């Protein structure tokens, strides 16, 4: 994949305005968020993450809002939640989630 294709891939096809945070290079996610606002005309972008990627979601939101689109976007709302499920060993585990909503300022 080219870098552009990779960024498109991070912003899932079905919901153009959600960026899911994972283990790819940090700037891919920042670019994903910024592009949604600048070239895709999004009025609102949701940054979502689970477990250890939650810190990264906050970093992506902060870098997008304070460095790349300073004064142009702001945090509208932040939701946290948790999901319970059984892991491979059959134990009940819980993972936290975050959903950061950014909007045009």
Q: Which is nearer to its own copies, 15 or 77 (CB)?
A: 77
φ/ψ of 33, rounded to 5, equals -70, -50
Closest approach, Cβ 46 to its own copies, in A, equals 14
Any contact of residue 51 with its own copies (CB under 8 A)?
yes
For residue 76, give both structure tokens. Answer: 């509208």
Gap between the Cα atoms of 90 and 97, Å rounded: 21
Closest approach, Cβ 75 to its own copies, in A, equals 6
Q: Which is nearer to its own copies, 6 or 18 (CB)?
A: 18
Burial class (CB in 10 A: 0-12, 13-18, 19+), 45: buried
Any contact of residue 78 with its own copies (CB under 8 A)?
yes
């Amino acid at each position: 994949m080219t870098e552009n294709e990779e960024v498109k891939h991070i912003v899932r096809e079905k919901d153009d305005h959600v960026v899911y945070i994972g283990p790819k290079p940090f700037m891919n996610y920042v670019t994903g968020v910024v592009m949604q606002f600048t070239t895709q005309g999004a009025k609102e972008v949701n940054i979502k993450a689970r477990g250890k990627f939650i810190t990264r979601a906050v970093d992506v939101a902060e870098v997008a809002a304070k460095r790349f689109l300073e004064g142009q976007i702001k945090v509208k709302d932040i939701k946290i939640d948790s999901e319970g499920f059984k892991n491979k060993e059959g134990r009940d585990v819980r993972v936290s989630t975050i959903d950061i909503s950014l909007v045009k300022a």
